[in-house]
């Protein structure tokens, strides 16, 4: 069931990314929806799910972006694994800590992308520093917003389930 939810979320993220890039060319420089999905998948502390989710999300990001194939796959898989490993040892339940986790993971991803690009390509083009900062902050804000929205939806769904049930009374 978790794999199906991840696949459905990946389809939604891909569509949102394509719509965002179509509306504004700088969308991909500020928001990395695939990274947010990979980190969100790893927040429960399952290291294999973090690794696999990061790999799949990164490979789809590589396919959509048209860059060096496997670059985001490698970076996102390591970031997903690291996020899951960290959340096994830390309590991440409040929006400020979620913002910090998403921002640090985005910074790690950008560092890894720059390092691998410098090592692999003969004439690398690195992302400008202001765009890297924008992506780190954008990923942190977007991750915290998704986290809060998910929590609110769970509370509302739980309240709805409690109020919709009919109690069966025997006898009178």
What does the pLDDT look like over 147-167, one tens digit per residue? 999 999 999 998 888 887 666
d(CA 49, CA 81): 8
| Domain residue ranges in the chain | 2-163
Q: How far is CA 125 from CA 74, 113, 160, in A?
A: 18, 11, 51
**Can you tell me the distance from the alpha carbon of 74 to that of 6, in angstroms, rounded to the nearest whole number?**
18
pTM, two decimals, is 0.89
pLDDT for 110: 96
Three-state DSSP class for residue 75? helix
Six-digit token string for 146: 């998704």
Residue closest to 42 by CA, chosen among 4, 95, 92:
92
């Amino acid at each position: 069931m978790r794999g199906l939810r991840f696949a459905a979320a990946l389809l939604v993220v891909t569509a949102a990314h394509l719509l965002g890039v179509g509306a504004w060319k700088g969308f991909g420089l500020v928001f990395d929806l695939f990274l947010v999905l990979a980190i969100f998948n790893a927040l429960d502390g399952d290291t294999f799910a973090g690794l696999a989710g990061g790999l799949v999300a990164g490979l789809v990001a590589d396919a959509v972006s048209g860059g060096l194939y496997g670059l985001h796959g490698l970076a996102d898989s390591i970031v997903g694994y690291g996020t899951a490993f960290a959340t096994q040892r830390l309590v991440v339940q409040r929006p400020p800590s979620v913002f910090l986790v998403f921002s640090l993971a985005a910074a790690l991803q950008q560092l890894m992308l720059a390092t691998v690009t410098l090592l692999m390509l003969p004439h690398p083009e690195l992302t400008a520093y202001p765009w890297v900062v924008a992506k780190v902050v954008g990923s942190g804000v977007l991750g915290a917003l998704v986290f809060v929205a998910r929590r609110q939806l769970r509370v509302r769904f739980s309240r709805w389930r409690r109020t919709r049930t009919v109690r069966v009374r025997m006898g009178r």
